[in-house]
Amino acid sequence: MVQPRPSQQLHPAREPAPLRAAATVLLLRDTPAGIEVLMTRRSAQASFVPGAYVFPGGAIDEADARSHALAARRPTQGDLLLTQSIAAIRESFEELGVLLARQGDGSPVAPALVAQLDRAAPLAALCATHGLTLAADTVFSFAHWITDRDLPRRFDVPFLVARMPAGQVPVADEAEQFEPVWVRPADALARHAAGGFFMIFPTIRTLERLQAYASVDAVLQACAGEQPLWISCPRAGLLAGKEVRFMDSDPPFGELALVCPDGQITHALDWQNEQPVALLRNVQRLTAANPGVMTGPGTNSYLVGDPDTGYIAIDPGPEDPAHQERLWHAAGGDIRMIVCTHSHPDHAPGARPLQALVERHKGWRPPVLGLPSAPTARAASAFSPDRMLRNEELLTLEGRAMEGKNTHTLMVLHTPGHAANHLCLLLLEDGLLFSGDHILNGSTTVVDPPDGDMTAYLDSLDLLDAQCARHGVGFILPAHGYVLGEARQAIAQLKAHRLRREAKIVAAMQALPEGSLDDWVAHAYVDVPPRMWPVAARSLLAHVQRIRALEPGNTG
């Protein structure tokens, strides 16, 4: 994957703190009210998250890796997971006096014996003395967390799960851990939200996922594949001036990875329309003041370039003199080209006013570039560029300095589907894809026939994936929403989503062969709020047209 050039990064590179291997375990039990998990409060003097409610766990010792012979294991349980499971068992015993082990006859270790054992003694010695086998085969991988890059102490921690041994009673060591408590995940989250049960981000997100399971058996069955259900190294940004952390699946994550790759907590994620947002030294985003159901926080306009090369403006937005004025100011007036990804009224109408603004103040007329609207476009989407762009054409900005010549090269990619004249732009030097409305963050784009075409849309996704692979693209900059990271993964997930939706539409058509589009929408979009069904009906129609075109015997 191509990384943005170091010369274009906003922050100097820095090395995050090294990772320490650790393990933690969620001890679970069933109750009539649902699953409960065992948590304890960390010491107020602890060096890491003092006073937080956590699951028992700690650093992995060298002895844990040497104790495999003392533990039972599943045939599919690898050496690393076995070591982690032993560490979690040891930590839960040292901190809470809970021991997952079996006696020589294979029965669970007697609670009375556990209560008599010296928790400060080496666990291996206790097992040898009392003929115990660690029940590591009952411990499963639920999640995997890696501490955020900005923190001075960082851990690489599997969050394991196991059923609480019957009859044992947790007793805190009163040194590292205090106040063991059984709590339903939903109750822990509610108490945290009320300010009385402090927890850190990974704990919160783990409980959010855990509360979806009805029983301990359901949790253990979900973990039977021996792989964590998710792996995350969160990232932090600023919202309303406060630090907020995000998992990989959260919309802001990709933007933070682009802007603050080493974990600097400097990037403000608040949507606003007054100031440009620097994403790299050569990429700025300015969001138009047109938020709504279809536009999200507003239409993103982008400026690519720098004071030495001049700028290319991408998607100047709706006709809004204040927005075009801000774009002009952000570029210092030095706009060399204006490119419209497509002709919809929230993207292209600002092109001519921005062009006139530059001409009036600078004396030159930057060309408006793109593809003309097709006859199928709605009247509000009529558009005629000064010049039609060719597929894979290169738009290049070159620095005027004699030494250290700087360039920014955009490759044009024709991507019909959302609109017949849609195109995307690939910034070659930095591995960035400007996706227009073809790929959005946080929602799927509408494909509205006749100008929209679902087969063309899916084919264009394949084209974008191939170009991202060819050029090592790492990030997608959409016309609505935050930057997306892991570009090819995002494209694959989007295509899979569209095909899953298509399968639901096929099922609706089969279940209601005489049904109307409205009937099929209610059947296939049951997971979407009804207020959005009129919009969903447009994409449903595009799917129906594609489905019928693919039917055997249809050659039209």
Question: Which amino acid is present at 113?
Answer: L
Mean pLDDT, residues 189-206: 92
Q: Does a structural domain hold residue 516? A: yes
Percent of the chain with pLDDT over 90: 79
Q: Does a structural domain hold residue 493? A: no
| More confident position, 203 or 555 | 203
Q: Does a structural domain hold residue 266? A: no
Cβ atoms of 287 and 273 within 8 Å: the answer is yes
pLDDT band at 45 (very low <50, low <70, confident <90, very high): confident
What was the pLDDT predicted at 128? 87
Q: What is the pLDDT of residues 323-341, one digit of tens each?
A: 999 999 999 999 999 999 9
Mean pLDDT, residues 228-254: 95
What was the pLDDT predicted at 303? 98
In this structure, the answer to whether residues 302 and 440 fall within a common structural domain is yes
DSSP code per residue over 402-414? SSS--EEEEEEEE
Residue 556: pLDDT over 80: no
> Which residues are CB-contacts of 90 (< 8 A; sequence separation ≥ 6)?
61, 64, 123
In this structure, the answer to whether residues 397 and 508 fall within a common structural domain is no
Nearest to 145 by CA among 21, 244, 16: 21
In this structure, the answer to whether residues 330 and 478 fall within a common structural domain is yes
CA atoms within 13 A on the CB side of 203: 22
Q: Does a structural domain hold residue 177? A: yes
In this structure, the answer to whether residues 168 and 59 fall within a common structural domain is yes
In this structure, the answer to whether residues 425 and 517 fall within a common structural domain is no
pTM confidence score:
0.90
Query: Which domain, by its residues, includes 509?
Result: 499-549
Mean pLDDT, residues 263-279: 95
In this structure, the answer to whether residues 512 and 450 fall within a common structural domain is no
pLDDT band at 151 (very low <50, low <70, confident <90, very high): confident
pLDDT band at 230 (very low <50, low <70, confident <90, very high): very high
Query: Could you tell me the CATH number of the domain that includes residue 396?
Result: 3.60.15.10
Domain end residue (candidates: 177, 206, 233): 233
Three-class SS state of 355: helix
Domain end residue (candidates: 467, 487, 507): 487
In this structure, the answer to whether residues 174 and 34 fall within a common structural domain is yes
What was the pLDDT predicted at 44? 73
In this structure, the answer to whether residues 481 and 503 fall within a common structural domain is no
What was the pLDDT predicted at 242? 93
Pairing of strands 387-388, 368-370: parallel
> Which residues are CB-contacts of 344 (< 8 A; sequence separation ≥ 6)?
380, 381, 419, 437
Sign of CA dihedral 151, 155, 161, 167: negative
What was the pLDDT predicted at 268? 96
In this structure, the answer to whether residues 211 and 335 fall within a common structural domain is no
What was the pLDDT predicted at 402? 54
Domain end residue (candidates: 462, 487, 512): 487
CA 296 to chain centre: 17
Mean pLDDT, residues 36-57: 84
Residue 483: pLDDT over 80: yes
What was the pLDDT predicted at 403? 59
> Which residues are CB-contacts of 71 (< 8 A; sequence separation ≥ 6)?
82, 85, 86, 89, 133, 134, 135, 136, 137
Q: Does a structural domain hold residue 263? A: no
Q: Does a structural domain hold residue 367? A: yes
What was the pLDDT predicted at 553? 63
Residue 445: pLDDT over 80: yes
CA atoms within 13 A on the CB side of 393: 12
In this structure, the answer to whether residues 398 and 542 fall within a common structural domain is no
Which of these ranges, 19-33, 100-114, 446-460, has the smallest mean pLDDT?
100-114
Q: What is the pLDDT of residues 495-543, one digit of tens each?
A: 999 999 999 999 999 999 999 999 999 999 999 899 999 999 999 999 9
Q: What is the pLDDT of residues 369-399, one digit of tens each?
A: 999 999 999 999 999 999 999 999 999 999 8
Tell me the three-class secondary structure of 211-244, residue by residue.
Answer: CCCCCHHHHHHHCCCCCCCCEECCEEEEECCEEE
CA atoms within 13 A on the CB side of 185: 21
Q: Does a structural domain hold residue 14? A: no
Query: Could you tell me the CATH number of the domain that includes residue 134?
Result: 3.90.79.10
Sheet holding 423-427, edge to edge: 394-398, 407-414, 423-427, 432-436, 475-478, 484-485
In this structure, the answer to whether residues 45 and 108 fall within a common structural domain is yes
Residue 451: pLDDT over 90: yes
Q: What does the CA dihedral 70, 135, 203, 80 come to, rounded to 10 degrees?
A: 40
Mean pLDDT, residues 451-476: 97
Sign of CA dihedral 62, 64, 68, 70: positive
* Number of domains into which the chain is organized: 3
Counting DSSP H helices and E strands in the chain, the numbers are 14, 25
In this structure, the answer to whether residues 128 and 220 fall within a common structural domain is yes
Q: Does a structural domain hold residue 512? A: yes
